[in-house]
Amino acid sequence: MSSLAEAPTRGITTRPIHPTFGLEITGLDVTKPIDAETLDWLKDMSSKHKLLLFKGQNLSTGDLNAFAQKFGDTAQPPPKTSATVTRTDNITELGTQGGAPASGYEVVARFWHVDSSWRPIPTWLTLLTAVEMPEGEGHTGFADMEAAYNALSDERKAFLEGKQMVHSFTALRRYENTIPPMAEEDVPPPAVHPVVCTVDGRKVLFLSNQTCYYVGNMPFEEGCALYEELIAHATSPQFVYEHVWSPGDLAMWDDRTTMHRAVPYDSSKRRIMHRAEVKGTQVPS
């Protein structure tokens, strides 16, 4: 884990939040100018620790987008659906407004997933900040996909080499049938990604329990069973950190090496989050 001496800027401190991944960073106001050395350090910490947490940032949509753009392109709009999406400064508003049932898309956010895994080049980083949270609820779970891979037996690792999965945006309706069908011309094409990917020299599982449901290169029923086995394994308690949000918290995670989900909560209560996605630059391999 990171030592305090690794921080290039005086006043920045770090604290591990889980035995295998996650780092809380304090003493850095992300709305202020960030020099090149500190930005490189943040990228390095993001790669090493997968999940970075910054407390008490209280960002506007413009602030969040400006910080996210230090890492890459955030102009990555969601697919065209019948859902009402509030999007300002490349930032998408997520959650529940209170007083109404959760929409189908809000329901599937409670499944373990990777943002935009259905794209040929999935999202690299997601940044999420808490605007309004129900007291004692609305947590977010994160799963370490490198640790999950490392815990597999050598035999299982060898078996998974070369296996692939189809990631499709339309698979969301398989998990939640209240999601309305899309117009044929608006359906994004599916993408095929390896089950095991190499990220910064480290092997990880690449799964998303929203957009796919079977492992390919094998009989379909066996592929479905293997997929369920891998999801259950990757989300075992030893690989999971659950973040209890306070308004103003900012989380930034590497979608190549983690999964996440909204922990189920009372959707009649208001839970408002703002999200930025930084485009990926490499096809998973």
- Whether residue 149 contacts residue 157, with contact meaning beta carbons closer than 8 Å, is answered with yes
Please give the DSSP secondary-structure letter assigned to residue 79: P
Task: Give the closest residue to 118 by CA, choosing from 41, 207, 216, 241.
Answer: 207
Q: How far apart are CA 62 and CA 200, in angstroms?
A: 30
pLDDT of residue 2: 40
Residue 64 has pLDDT above 90, yes or no: yes
Phi, psi torsion values for 88, nearest 5 degrees: -135, 135
Task: Show me where the domains of the chain are located.
Answer: 4-278
Q: Note the pLDDT tens digit of each residue in 69-110.
A: 999 999 988 887 757 678 889 999 998 888 777 788 888 899
Q: How far apart are CA 68 and CA 51, in angstroms?
A: 14
Taking alpha carbons only, the member of 101, 176, 109, 179 closest to residue 138 is 109
Instruction: Give the count of beta carbons closer than 10 Å to the beta carbon of residue 271.
Output: 23
| Structure letter (DSSP) for residue 145 | H
pLDDT, one tens digit per residue, over 23-60 is 999 999 999 999 999 999 999 999 999 999 999 999 99
More confident residue, 182 or 25: 25
Q: Which CATH class is domain 4-278?
A: alpha beta
- The pTM score is 0.94
Evaluate whether 66 touches 247 at the Cβ level (below 8 Å). no
pLDDT tier at 6, thresholds 50, 70, 90? low
* DSSP type of residue 51: E
